[in-house]
Structure 1
């Protein structure tokens, strides 16, 4: 059995995947790259064995997966790559439409929570590509941008009001926010436990390498981006790759609010890989 490993196609996972993809850490994975929404679908359909995925994917289908321990992706404040970019102050967005990236599930749900609990507004939503809309000359009232697109658009002159959803969550709860987790398909686990244990250990080893070589990662990422080394290091230093008690508390708080707002049927227990 060759392990089918999902990789989010954003810079934020570079610290974990670079040592795997460059051969610094031995592995025999078949890597499938895509945006979070696509990987969520592949996992839901059983087409990947282990993958990075939106944290909401585990909340929706906890019976299908185990969580990989000790590795996640989130923030304890500003995340810089999940932004609500607006032409108006937040409270003036009520009744207007927000263009939401089609690549996100978790951030879109988080936005709805923040609108209700932090800003007290109700808006409409349109799904699409912010970059494509702006290139055509369209100017939505507000844009929810994630990943590399958010990094590239964050200083767009037509959007003077910028709201970092990681920072807004900390303002609301005082907790870290976990945007992404790594999931193991339970059906794959039943077929090949030893290989999946090896895969999880390898991912954690990749995370340890990446965190301990962060200056090198910043330089590599900056070379492939419009950001400077300094901006890229600021970005990576704001990310959290741990999945300890505080991060788990933040994730459960997210699930509790999703349920309270009718976006999740039940608050799942966190079941980690045996």
Structure 2
């Protein structure tokens, strides 16, 4: 019998508004955190090594029969997301048949880029997966995709490339918000850990609300530990949405339909929410 819940934690600042004030001490040894980049958390969750936590929204779609989505938690944006960028040597419209380097830390964003380039721009390109080091990625590519803090650091360097925010492109073409990460839970652990799961979910919601009530402690923390200007961090967090309501769900399910059209998913996916009552919620 598993005594504790194993919770994933993304090693990017975009999740901090949900996790920064999380009161881990009150759970004592009933929970443990596993901190990795999204692609690693996706794999660990699929292998059953993590029970719940944020994963790429694309990974949820791949494993929807095994996972549920925890309500009112996500990393989303309606417009610019501020940390998911395509760096390009030429205008995006001129990238047909170009080699493009993709970060190996992502799932949602690399497939979002494929949807945008193929469906909305009508481009055919070639892709390669690489470690998220922009200078090396651009040696053999015309464009490169970076996400999270890797993308933020690259922007600060004022690199000599055209820069496209994928959240902004998605909104321009669809009018929808885009959800990049979801807090999910494996269905297999629900029966054994229903009460603890409810406590953990509430703790994440409380942490998020504490940040919304007073963002400055987090702004100060990231400024001290990640550099950059406080005003830039303030603007960045204000541009993110950490809710998951009907608006985010509609945009995400449209993304799944687009991905299915492009052969990136076997078919469209409907998001299934976990409910404390034990009755799951479909639209």
| Same-fold call, TM cutoff 0.5 | yes
Q: Could you say if the C-alpha distance between residues 22 and 217 of structure 1 is closer, same or farther in structure 2, counting changes exceeding 3 Å?
A: farther
Q: Specify the alignment match of 1:94 in structure 2.
A: 96
Q: Specify the alignment match of 2:262 in structure 1.
A: 261
Q: Specify the alignment match of 1:81 in structure 2.
A: 83
CA RMSD of aligned residues (A): 1.8
Aligned-pair CA distance for 1:231: 0.8
Taking structure 2 as the reference length, the TM-score comes to 0.90
- 1:105-124 superposed matches below 5 A: 105-124=107-126
Q: Specify the alignment match of 1:27 in structure 2.
A: 27
State the SS of the aligned residue for 1:257: helix
Q: Is 1:142 matched up with 2:143?
A: yes
Q: Specify the alignment match of 2:278 in structure 1.
A: none
**1:136-187 alpha-carbon deviations (Å, 9 max, x no partner):** 9936321100000100112555542100000001001101100000001111
Which stretches of structure 1, 4 residues or more, deviate above 4 A after TM superposition? 155-158
Taking structure 1 as the reference length, the TM-score comes to 0.93
Q: Could you say if the C-alpha distance between residues 223 and 139 of structure 1 is closer, same or farther in structure 2, counting changes exceeding 3 Å?
A: farther
Distance 1:137 1:264 in 2: 28
State the SS of the aligned residue for 1:154: helix
Distance 2:138 2:101 in 1: 14
**Structure 1 unaligned regions, length at least 5:** none
Distance 1:265 1:120 in 2: 21
Contact 1:100 1:125 in 2 (8 A): yes
Distance 2:27 2:90 in 1: 48
State the SS of the aligned residue for 1:178: strand
After superposing the two structures, state which structure 1 stretch, 145-154 or 113-122, moved more. 113-122
Q: Specify the alignment match of 1:58 in structure 2.
A: 60
Aligned-pair CA distance for 1:252: 0.6
**1:229-272 alpha-carbon deviations (Å, 9 max, x no partner):** 01111111110001111011111111111111111112222211
Distance 1:247 1:137 in 2: 33
Q: Specify the alignment match of 1:45 in structure 2.
A: 47
